[in-house]
Amino acid sequence: MARPAVFVDRDGTLNRDCPYCHDPKDLFVYVDTVKVLREYQSRGYYVFLVSNQSGLNRGYFTRKEMDDFNSALFSEMDAMGVHVDDAFICPHTPEEHCRCRKPEPGLVEQAMEKYDIDIPNSVYIGDRDDLDGDLARSFGMKFILVNH
């Protein structure tokens, strides 16, 4: 049976943004966002990370470095009672004109291919109205704008 999801942006939403964040030493988690996720997860929502990480294809960091940063983030979230069900990452630069760089729909489409998601009842949390907000609205999802 389809379940609603909460899609959540990473940099500036779950953790303090920094230029092409990839060093776990720079990780600072926003507790208020995690608490909102915990509320949704307790009501049966999936939790999916959706993130543009063009630093990958720009060569600023490796996939291993990104995975280590994400693992550090996810383990802090686990300690606060939130389990991230899956992560959908766009590695492309704008010049690559891919379908997955937000606000393009690809990351949400990838999640929909893998999971049975109740999109009309899903929610999106992000810090950029022009990227996250536009993506959420293109699927008719409720959008929560955070401002840290």
Q: Which residue is nearest to Mg ion (CB)?
A: 12
- 55 is a site residue for Mg ion (CB under 5 A): no
Residue with tokens 């949400």: 108
Stretch that binds Mg ion, among 4-12, 18-26, 57-65, 85-93 (CB under 5 A): 4-12
Of 76 and 128, CB closest to Mg ion: 128
What radius of gyration, in Å, describes the C-alpha atoms of the chain? 14
Burial 69-98 (b: 16+ CB within 10 A, else e): bbebbbebbeeeebebbebbbbbbeeeeee
- What tokens were used for 126? 């992000």
Identify whether 9 is a catalytic site residue: yes
Stretch that binds Mg ion, among 12-20, 30-38, 41-49, 66-74 (CB under 5 A): 12-20
Q: With residue 72 as reference, give the H or E element that holds it.
A: helix 63-79
When binding is defined by CB under 5 A, the residue of 12, 91, 103, 133 that contacts Mg ion is 12
CB of 51 to Mg ion, least distance (A): 8
When binding is defined by CB under 5 A, the residue of 7, 9, 47, 133 that contacts Mg ion is 9
Identify whether 67 is a catalytic site residue: no
- 11 is a site residue for Mg ion (CB under 5 A): yes
* Cα dihedral across residues 138, 12, 39, 3: positive or negative: positive
Residues 78 to 137: which contact Mg ion by CB under 5 A?
A: 127
Q: How far apart are CA 102 and CA 24, in angstroms?
A: 24
From the list 9, 26, 67, 116, the catalytic residue is 9
Q: How far apart are CA 19 and CA 33, in angstroms?
A: 20
Catalytic residues: 9, 11
| Residue ranges binding Mg ion (CB under 5 A) | 9, 11-12, 127
